[in-house]
């Protein structure tokens, strides 16, 4: 972390920042219970603990007024019919949003509110997506060969709540159907607080 403004480069084709403070690697084992087809999940995990996605963070103090930012790279692949995806999260401070700028690849952003409203938006190079406050979000890579690469920025005090999604999942899933991505209901999802 630096106390003076310092630029960095995002060089194609991989767009890994020329400098970063933290590199997170999420593997198949980090996604326990997140994929619909648990038999396919365990079969793949028995073969290899594959790398699903990476995050390169440029750290700043986690305070209001600061902007945390970095690069997210979701690799291509599927677990059963379900595409590789990020864990997804709400912000701990629910009234904070996040901006994504898509640099490479093709995918979808799956989003929902605590009350159960949902949206799914397509991601492609040059597109900017503003995820509103109160919306959980998950990136899904539907390209069979290419990484989904995005620049992100969010308020320093936003925080991450992964636990809610780990417990309830997302209302919608992105699965392959007839060789194309399809948005489907998650049969395991239920409105938080419902019996």
All structural domains of the chain:
22-185 (2.60.120.10)
Q: Taking Cα atoms as reference points, which of 183, 181, 179 lies closest to residue 120?
A: 183
Q: What are phi and psi of 17, to 5 degrees?
A: -60, 145
CB atoms within 10 A of CB 65: 9
Residues 6+ apart with CB under 8 A from 126: 102
Q: What are phi and psi of 44, to 5 degrees?
A: -65, -45
Q: Among residues of the chain, what percentage have pLDDT more than 70?
A: 97
- For residue 131 the two structure tokens come to 């995820």
The span from the CA of 171 to the CA of 184, in Å, is: 9
For 38-49, what is the mean pLDDT? 97
Structure confidence at residue 44 as a pLDDT band (50, 70, 90): very high
pTM exceeding 0.85: yes
Q: By mean pLDDT, which of 30-44, 47-61, 93-107, 181-195 is the weakest?
A: 181-195
For 80-96, what is the mean pLDDT? 97
Please tell me the predicted confidence (pLDDT) of residue 193.
63
Q: By mean pLDDT, which of 37-41, 54-58, 74-78, 166-170 is the weakest?
A: 166-170
Please tell me the predicted confidence (pLDDT) of residue 4.
86
Rounded to a whole number of angstroms, the CA Rg of the chain reads 16
Residues 6+ apart with CB under 8 A from 36: 80, 82, 173, 175, 186, 187, 188
For 161-179, what is the mean pLDDT? 94
Mean pLDDT score across all residues of the chain: 95
CB atoms within 10 A of CB 82: 20
Structure confidence at residue 129 as a pLDDT band (50, 70, 90): very high
């Amino acid at each position: 972390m630096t106390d003076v403004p310092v630029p960095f480069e995002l060089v194609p084709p991989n767009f890994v920042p020329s400098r970063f403070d933290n590199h997170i690697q999420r593997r198949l084992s980090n996604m326990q219970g997140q994929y619909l087809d648990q038999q396919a999940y365990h079969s793949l995990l028995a073969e290899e603990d594959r790398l699903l996605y990476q995050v390169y963070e440029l750290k700043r103090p986690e305070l209001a007024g600061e902007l945390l930012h970095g690069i997210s790279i979701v690799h291509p692949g599927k677990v059963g019919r379900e595409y590789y995806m990020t864990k997804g999260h709400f912000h701990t401070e629910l009234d904070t949003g996040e901006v994504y700028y898509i640099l490479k690849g093709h995918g979808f952003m799956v989003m929902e509110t605590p009350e159960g409203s949902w949206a799914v938006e397509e991601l492609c190079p040059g597109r900017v997506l503003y995820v509103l406050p109160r919306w959980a979000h998950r990136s899904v890579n539907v390209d069979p060969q290419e990484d989904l690469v995005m620049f992100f920025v969010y308020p320093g005090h936003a925080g991450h709540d992964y636990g809610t999604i780990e417990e309830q999942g997302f209302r919608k899933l992105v699965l392959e159907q007839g060789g194309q991505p399809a948005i489907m209901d998650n049969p395991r999802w239920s409105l938080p607080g419902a019996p």
